[in-house]
Amino acid sequence: MAQTGGAATKTVKKPKEREPQDWEDHKFPKIKDRDVVSAIMDQQHLAKMRAAAKQKYQEKAQAQDPAKRVRTWRFAVTVVGLENSTSEPWYTFLAISETGPKHEVYYNRLHGGFQYSRSYRIEPGNKKNFGSAEDVLNKEVEYSYIELKNHALSVDVWQVQASGFNQLIGSAHKTLYDIANSPVHQTMTIKGNEGGKQLSFGIGTVYIQGLMNEIKQFDISLSNWQYQPRTELHDTKEDKKLKFMVPTGPKGSGEETFPTNACPGPVYTWGQGGMYSYKGTRASLANEVIIVTLMTSRGGQMQVQGKAIIPMEGAIDYPIAIGTVKSLTENVQAYVQGRVGGSITMTVRSLGLKKGQNDENPSIPAPIQLETSLTMYYLDGSMQYMIVEAHSAESLPIADPDYGSSNPFVRVKYDGCVQQSSVIMDSLTPSWNHTFYIPIRFVDPRVYSDPKYYKTIYSTEMQSKGFLELEIWHMDGVPTEYLGGVKMDPYQIQFGKEGHRSIAGTITKTRRGLNTDDSGEATHDDGKDAAGIDPALSIVHPTVIYEGRRETLLGSSLSMSAKPTINYEAYFLPKFPSSFKFPQQQNNDVGSESKLAASYNRWNKLFQELDDDYQKWFPDAPARRRWICQYTDSSGEVRPLPRLIVPLALPASLGEPLKVIHWIKCMEFNAPARQRSCGQINSWQTPSDTLALRRGSVQDHAVLLCCALQGLKKDAWVCIGQVQGGFEHAWVMTREAYGVVTFWETTTGAKFHMSGRWLAARGDPCIAQADARYKGRNCDEKWRDPQRLAERTDWSRQQHLAKMDDLVRLPIAPWRELYGSAKMICALPYDSIEVVFNGFGIYGNLLNHEPGSIFYDMEADKHSWQSLVGKDLSDQMFIDKPVVIQVGPTVSKHTAETLQKNIEDELKESIRMIRMRHGNETALEDSEILNESLDAYMAHLEEECRLDFDWAFNDKDQAVKPWGAPSPFNNPEYKSECREAWAKHWKKKKQLSDARVYLPVRENHVLSGVPLHFSSSDLKEIRKCIMGCKPIQEYFQYRSDAAYFFVGAKVFPLPSSVCSVWVFLGAEVALSKDQIYQIAKSRLAVEQGGVVNEETGEIEEAEDDDMEDLYANGGLEELEKLKQDLENSKKKKKKGKAKAKGRATNAG
């Protein structure tokens, strides 16, 4: 007998095959098997529907053109120079006016108002830079885009005559629309005037600074704010509140304050931060800040603990606000108190424009002045700036595979300020040459002006501003794909090359040349004069320039053939004094992972041994269980899972959990290839990456949902376990009031409530209660005895079944009180639960694997749950975690409508191509009535997805009790809202059901279709899913040409550029002759009050009126034939009854 040596191998169970679901493709009914209703050809009703659809279409087409809407503009003109291109000297002055349409120019010149400049002497061929700029116009005007084209700025150049009248030697004209579309620093060509007629050639140039910027209404809402104290300060015991001071107009023209309610520790969150309105231009808003004051309860009174500055620049495109709370003190350790952040929801509209009114796609493009020149106009020469010049990038990843290119732009972040460049279309090697100006702001100016603070905390102040981050994104209407980024420590700037720069750079410098001053003497233009802006901005300073040459971009999930790189420069103006040494950013991660390494090893060893012993007692338990506690980030560093959980700053539109889970469900599910093949979770995305990409694996959706629920003040946790088939899965758990635990499934949006699963409290008293509960079980604590485990190793299944009673007293057995009552039992789709974690800790399950058979007092129950770290290392979970994560804005209505049309066009073309490959022609239906009906139907389906089925009501307004434990969300007001929502749902459904029978259907055709919902707005993914959908394939493969196809799409915009996409695809299919005959017979039977006997095919009297009509239109010939058959049938019955009566009489 041969004997093998070595360790015994462990038997791996074969994963179970997943059972098919009722809704899956092969269970979907064929067209011929679907229940349909008969169309009613009511010509009068049809005409009304057609007229209503046509009117709605015309109203949409004839809506006021946004280019005709009158708007308010900030109009300012400053003359900064004049150039003489003639051979004669000028002794001249300027007359500036605003003129109307061209045919009224001379009338306006005679009757309009003028602004006059001083007189200047300009030598032939020379340019005169004015010693002080001439501010000639500065006012608010009201014009539409069309009126801007019809109005102009006129500059008349007059020659001063020693005797007699002054002479008009030339004029310059420029439309206000051209001014609004040009950089602030502009030129106007002077056309000569001779004999009252304007010449065609130029005789000189007027140099102006023209500002034409629309004044808008910015509706600002602050919501879901968080405060995260520094862990070293242990500042989590006192109540705290925030006070916001928000500007309402430019340059301190107004402000509003809003104090929040007090919030107890240790987690500080505030749902509302107030609503405000700002009236000004986008450029003026970019220079405003929000002052957030943190107040703490001390001695029964609220006292100021610190303040934070929140820049508003970039809030429209990047609606997140993060600031560092600082307290003016000489104590370096207490200067930085913590971080505060939240959501800034901002809607922008023209003055006088009502909410919801269309302001997109005007016939004339909205004029936009160059952002850099506008920025320069608002810069303050007394401030210090970090200047970042983003030059170019190379080898960027392809974000749009259809075109093999990307539309990149740069986003820069520093000290809470966010700015972004223009977009370069269709390029993998873009050159932006864009300059960013980031102001260096201080909560209190005494930080640098007072010597005692400058010596102690100025260095800490500059260190608290953090890293400089440059991110490159792909723009597809909204930022969609992250192409990579770099993070630079400003500490490195001091080691760059020395150079000389000015803040204004070359933007406002005039050309060098010989000028004449007012005395007539020639002077040389040194190029330092500022053209109408703060002169300090043109001062040249010595500085140190950091050159980022071909720095590698990291973090993109897109495939790439080469390393993407970026070229940029960064420097401070004015630079810091030579005595100041810029501090280096602290890398708190250094050493933190080495501290956690021992915890990781101890954790893995503990649960590996537990799993081996568990399988010996429960051999039918899920195999290959893993207790995951860490992940690898994009830089290759190992991090604990709690680092992923950061509260989301949700907008007001996501203020309810049900809306949140629908929003997350509408993001694309995309599991890594390895996870799909082996069923194991091996990669995790940060919530920021999931939001940026709008897609992720099921575990990424679970992390994002947990972050969102924490942003809503929920006690939320991510759960890791297994589902049917042995596949690892992640979902979310919340602990609610009265001991209820709720599981949230991101893939379906379902909720599962379990009563009595935790103590509904936290703190030290719960520890004693959990201990008493465990001791009350009288468990067999020797279940892991090596001898007993060895004895069970080779047991057969019969032996295990015979010893089932031994399992009852095991600590790993289900808790009896959790399955002893029907009210406690809940059917769950999960086979096991191994790990739960959130931003404060991570715990492994020590007891039974079944999620419904254990308690969830993780912090208090040390017998049931094992923590990764103790209190001594708990701070490692918070290192370098952001205080909140931004949630971006929704896409515009115009963008959603464009996407709808693109989806419809793409699918129509796909139908043509597929049917053409099968040798079939394709006819497409385009009916206004059908399109309107499909839009209404898909909108109804979208609303149905947002209903709460825990508080469902039927069409008779009767409550429908869901199976399982009652919902913990049982606020009377919320239940009333649910009831109203369900009532509206049933009312709308009845209206749609009643209206569909009037849809126009071709004679002898049946109209049929399939609605589909997509968690992606990517055309490629939608096309791929539809092409692989078997119910849809039945339409594509329909062999007859007598079919008319239709496609409807509806896009519902959601926050962070997420879209809920519905597609309704179907066709009008011709009926066979047999079907037509049966349909016509059924309709005739209904008209005669009878039914068709399915066995004999004859018409009989109806016993009840519960009949199902077919959605089709029978032919007239068949109806006439059936009428004759009915008459013959009646005669036969009458004749048969007479014979029967005669036989009965004879028998009598």
Report how far apart, in Å, the C-alpha atoms of 6 and of each of 3, 9, 12, 551 are: 10, 9, 18, 52
H or E element that contains 448: helix 446-449
790 bridge partner residues: none
What pLDDT does residue 734 have?
A: 95
What pLDDT does residue 362 have?
A: 80
What pLDDT does residue 1087 have?
A: 60
The token pair at 582 is: 């810029």
What pLDDT does residue 798 have?
A: 85
Nearest-angstrom CA–CA distance, 724 and 705: 22
DSSP 405: B
Taking a C-beta distance cutoff of 8 angstroms, is the pair 340, 226 a contact?
yes
Nearest-angstrom CA–CA distance, 244 and 227: 13
What would the DSSP string read from start to end of 589-624? TTTHHHHHHHHHHHHHHHHHHHHHHHHHH-TTSPSS
What pLDDT does residue 510 have?
A: 35
Integer distance in angstroms from the first to the last C-alpha of the chain? 99
Nearest-angstrom CA–CA distance, 489 and 527: 34
DSSP 1146: H
- Residue given tokens 């399988």 in the structure block: 615
145 bridge partner residues: none
3-state secondary structure 553-565: CECCCCCCCCCCE
Q: Please state whether beta strands 1043-1054 and 923-924 pair in parallel, antiparallel, or not at all (unpaired).
A: parallel
Please count the other Cβ atoms lying within 10 Å of the Cβ belonging to residue 256: 15
Among 1067, 1065, 1023, smallest CA distance to 1048 is for 1065
* Phi, then psi, of 578 in degrees rounded to 5: -60, -25
Would the CA dihedral through 766, 772, 778, 780 be positive or negative?
positive
* Phi, then psi, of 467 in degrees rounded to 5: -85, 155
User: What pTM value is reported for the model?
Assistant: 0.76
- Residue given tokens 């520093």 in the structure block: 414
Taking a C-beta distance cutoff of 8 angstroms, is the pair 712, 655 a contact?
yes
Query: What are the strands of the beta sheet with 751-754, ordered from one edge?
Result: 751-754, 741-744, 727-735, 716-723, 830-838, 841-845, 865-867
Residue type, 1072: S
Nearest-angstrom CA–CA distance, 510 and 412: 30
Nearest-angstrom CA–CA distance, 73 and 532: 19
The token pair at 365 is: 């493009």
For the chain, which ranges sit under pLDDT 50? 1-24, 103, 506, 508-531, 590-591, 1102-1116, 1144-1148
Would the CA dihedral through 932, 933, 935, 936 be positive or negative?
positive
